[in-house]
Amino acid sequence: MTINDFVLENKDCFQVSATLFSEPHNATYDIVISNPPYFKISKDDKRATIAKSIVWGQPNIYSIFMMVATKLLKEGGELVFITPRSFASGNYFRAFREAFFQEIEIEHLHLFGSRTDTFDRDSVLQETLILKGKKQKLNGHLPSILVTHSNGIRDIESFTEKVYKTDELIDLKSKEKIIHLPTNETDDKVIKLFKSWAGSLRQYDIQISTGPVVSFRATQYLFEQYQNGTVFLVPLYQLINTSKMQFDWPVTKRNKPQYIQLCEETKSLLLPNKNYVFLRRFSAKDDKSRLVATPYFVDIAQAEFIGVENHLNYIYRPKGHLDRNEILGLSALLNSNLFDTYFRTFNGNINVSATELREMPLPPLEDIKQIGNQIILLNDFSQSKVDEIINNYFDIEHIFAYEQNLRSKRNP
């Protein structure tokens, strides 16, 4: 018995035409129901090459399955997929979202709250959802989307539900077309608060970039201990140096270099030593918070340049500098329960993308500065104080009250 590859067998789905794809001759299915494989493939993989119009970077095979299924549907046909939530945001899936929403109207989303309870038999640690949609060209009329939620499979029959207007969950006019996936009333209220804000990093002349030092490519220039007089070294910062509202350097730990050589070969990897906010690019699967932001001030190190490792994002003002209250205000916001809750409504994986942070709505810059001033005045960088300041400033204690009551009942 010969087993053929589903994507390769349907490669004509991705033939470029005036409308992005040509219509395959075998688009004859009325319905597709699928639990596709979930794994990353190399950008040089034949399937990635065929589907290059909808992938960027290292793609995940499930999104290619979804696009092929879409092209195989008749007009008016329906599809049901159970997949990870990762396609809802991020650069890797941006081209996919653009193409998918040109073809499919989402009718129903079922969200699973637990990473482990959904496929515990198979040890799948993914935040998953079930998506039901109809193949229908967008004609200006957008249907409502039914969103249901359960913790896992065991309680799926006692789901919660709410109907949303499509534009409450997806801004189809935006570049990113991020999908927000609220699971409770708290998420709803947080999303509405963020939508009321018109600010952004770009608007405040603030940029976010990824640390340029890739350790395994610069091994010969990295040092765990300071070498006095033999080579000229400057600080190297990485995950181990950052935690919520706290920066720690140097940290003595094997295979965690804290210095990088300043020489002709490394100049392009180094940054000017100035005020930054460092933001971890990855969180552990079981971390309570996705966002870990660290204020960094120029006077921490007596150096003209610094190295920032690739697992950190850094926030900065390209033409000028971030003031102390801006740094502490931004760090407090990013570390807050408020921002973590909002971030989780669209990010279903452990990656913290610089692209997502660029698009994230922010309150007025003056509010950010006032929050920073309060942190400075109180000189208390604890998580509880950060949340207290943020919640009081925006008068949102009530938003989290219901959630906190549920937690206290679960953990008396």
**Mean predicted confidence (pLDDT) in 338-351:** 88
What is the pLDDT at residue 1? 64
pLDDT band at 172 (very low <50, low <70, confident <90, very high): confident
Tell me if 28 sits within 8 A of 76, measured CB to CB: no
Distance CA 371, CA 374 (A): 5
pLDDT band at 333 (very low <50, low <70, confident <90, very high): very high
Pairwise pLDDT comparison (26 vs 241), residue with the higher score: 241
Tell me the pLDDT of the chain averaged across its residues.
Answer: 89
pLDDT band at 115 (very low <50, low <70, confident <90, very high): low
Domains and CATH numbers, the chain: 6-183 (3.40.50.150), 202-410 (3.90.220.10)
Alpha helix (H) residue ranges in 10-76: 46-50, 61-72
Is residue 95 predicted with pLDDT exceeding 80?
A: yes
**242-254 tens-digit pLDDT:** 999 999 999 999 9
Tell me if 266 sits within 8 A of 214, measured CB to CB: no
**Mean predicted confidence (pLDDT) in 288-311:** 95
Burial 134-172 (b: 16+ CB within 10 A, else e): bbbeeeeeeeebebbbbbbeeeeeeeeeeebebebbbbe
**Mean predicted confidence (pLDDT) in 321-325:** 97
What is the pLDDT at residue 410? 42
42 residue type, one letter:
S
What is the pLDDT at residue 18? 38
Distance CA 17, CA 15 (A): 6
Which distant-in-sequence residues (6+ apart) come within 8 Å of 405 by Cβ? none
User: For tokens 């490669």, what's the residue?
Assistant: 11
Is residue 62 predicted with pLDDT exceeding 90?
A: yes
Distance CA 412, CA 395 (A): 27
Is residue 104 predicted with pLDDT exceeding 60?
A: yes
Q: Taking the alpha carbons of 384, 386, 388, 394 in that order, is the dihedral positive or negative? A: negative
**377-399 tens-digit pLDDT:** 999 999 999 999 999 999 999 88
Is residue 120 predicted with pLDDT exceeding 60?
A: no
pLDDT band at 293 (very low <50, low <70, confident <90, very high): very high
- Per DSSP, the three-state class of 95 is helix
What is the pLDDT at residue 117? 55
For β-strands 160-165 and 259-261, DSSP reports them as unpaired
Contacts made by residues 39-47, CB under 8 angstroms, sequence distance 24+: 46/8, 47/5, 47/7, 47/8
The lowest-confidence range among 103-107, 378-382, 399-403, 408-412 is: 408-412
Pairwise pLDDT comparison (286 vs 163), residue with the higher score: 163
What is the pLDDT at residue 295? 98
